[in-house]
Amino acid sequence: MNNTSDHPAIRRLIEGNRRFTSGLRSVEPMMAHLRMAELAANGQKPFAVVLTCSDSRSPVELIFDQGLGDLFVVRVAGNVVAPSLLASIEFAVANFGSSAIVVLGHTLCGAVNATIKHSIDPSQPLPSPHLEELVGRIRPAIESAEREHPISHPGFLHHATLENIDRSARLILEQSRIVRELVAQGKLTVVGALLDIASGRVDFLQDAHNQIQNRKETAHVSA
Ligand SMILES: [Zn+2]
């Protein structure tokens, strides 16, 4: 499947996001409380896993107009990949048969912006070792963006945010054997997406597996 939007799970998310940005809501999320007992008795079967930022303007179920039991959401500032986050993703895809992993970044991300600021002026110490660790996970995306755009450019935050989404999607594939095997079997796709926090619109990016394949092919051609 080459076109991201052809994937049934991604199509469902795109349609839900269209409803959200049009001010519409499906009835299911509003009636979610009625499904709680059924889901508790029969178990969950979320159709997609979403790794996204903790930002309060990125409420996943709302922006995709999905209900209880539909999405397995992993949230961390800067939508970075670290062992416990990867374990959460693996737990979901291994147990619930979710057919898509979406890495959802967003515009004006504070975590990406803080990393840019720290890259510009590393003499300013970060307030805690935990924040140092988080910034360290975003920094490689800043360095990738810097290879194509000057860090002082007004659009740099946008470029770095896209790099950070791309990097997390690639890391999930590179670091998780479980994910790679499911992708190879055609049971799972890993996709990046960007939420515009001003409009609520989500744009899906190219399938991460295809991106890696394209890169390998390009490297092969140029070698
Ligand atoms: Zn953020």
**Chain segment 122-144, per-residue pLDDT in tens:** 998 899 999 999 999 999 999 99
From the CA of 185, how far away is ligand 1's center (Å)?
Answer: 32
Check residue 33 and give its pLDDT.
81
Region 64-86: what's the mean pLDDT?
A: 97
The end-to-end CA distance of the chain, in Å, is: 27
Region 25-40: what's the mean pLDDT?
A: 82
From the CA of 50, how far away is ligand 1's center (Å)?
Answer: 14
From the CA of 107, how far away is ligand 1's center (Å)?
Answer: 8
Region 48-60: what's the mean pLDDT?
A: 97
From the CA of 40, how far away is ligand 1's center (Å)?
Answer: 31
Region 173-186: what's the mean pLDDT?
A: 97
Average pLDDT of the chain to the nearest whole number: 91
Determine how many CB atoms are found less than 10 A away from the CB of residue 133.
Answer: 12
Check residue 222 and give its pLDDT.
43
Check residue 53 and give its pLDDT.
98
From the CA of 194, how far away is ligand 1's center (Å)?
Answer: 11
From the CA of 27, how far away is ligand 1's center (Å)?
Answer: 29
Check residue 81 and give its pLDDT.
98
> Is 85 a residue whose pLDDT tops 60?
yes
Check residue 223 and give its pLDDT.
40
From the CA of 137, how far away is ligand 1's center (Å)?
Answer: 13
> Is 219 a residue whose pLDDT tops 70?
no
> Is 190 a residue whose pLDDT tops 90?
yes
Check residue 216 and give its pLDDT.
60
The pTM of the full predicted model, rounded to 2 decimals, is 0.91
From the CA of 156, how far away is ligand 1's center (Å)?
Answer: 15
Q: Cα separations (Å) of 125 from 78, 114, 115, 131, 140?
A: 19, 12, 12, 10, 19
Q: How far apart are CA 107 and CA 161, in angstroms?
A: 7
Q: How far apart are CA 188 and CA 33, in angstroms?
A: 29
Q: How far apart are CA 179 and CA 172, in angstroms?
A: 7
Q: Across the strands, what pairs with 192?
A: 103
From the CA of 113, how far away is ligand 1's center (Å)?
Answer: 9
3: pLDDT confidence band, cut at 50, 70 and 90? confident
From the CA of 44, how far away is ligand 1's center (Å)?
Answer: 27
Region 3-22: what's the mean pLDDT?
A: 94
84: pLDDT confidence band, cut at 50, 70 and 90? very high
Say whether domain 4-222 belongs to CATH 3.40.50.410. Answer: no
Residues with CB under 5 A from ligand 1 (ion): 53, 55, 109, 111
